[in-house]
Amino acid sequence: MNNLIAAIKQYQQDKNLSDNQFANLLGIDRSTWAYIKCGKRNPGMKFLRAIARELPQFTSFIYVEITDSDSATDAHQTPQNGKLSRFRAWLKGFIPWVKPSISAQATKSKSRE
């Protein structure tokens, strides 16, 4: 998720938004954003949904991140893995035009490893 968070932090800086303004834009608590931003907390589903809804230009980052994360744990069916699968399905339905380019990006990033 480091690439996603770095891109979002850059967006916040480019738009000159305070942490409070950015958190309000997403509909999350300022402290939640501060903890995610500094790496003390991992982004949850509520945060990722808010990013997809309010900042759709980051949808490809989210999809690639959760696809990589989900495939790394395919052998272990954990509650988080199930949430990621449901979120991926929600994300595909939310922005259907993103699917082809995201699949290509995910394939390229996995083939580099």
Give pLDDT tens digits along the chain (113 positions).
788 899 999 999 999 999 999 999 999 999 999 999 999 998 888 888 889 889 988 887 887 776 665 555 444 444 455 666 676 666 666 554 444 444 444 444 444 44
- Which secondary-structure segment (H or E) carries 94? helix 79-94
- CB-CB contact of 64 with 109 (8 Å): yes
Integer-rounded Cα radius of gyration of the chain = 14
Domains and their CATH numbers in the chain: 2-112 (1.10.260)
- CB-CB contact of 75 with 33 (8 Å): no
| Strands, E assignment, the chain | none
What pLDDT is recorded for position 11? 94
Distance, in Å, from the CA atom of 36 to the CA atom of 64, rounded to the nearest integer, reads 18
Q: Is the pTM of this model over 0.75?
A: no
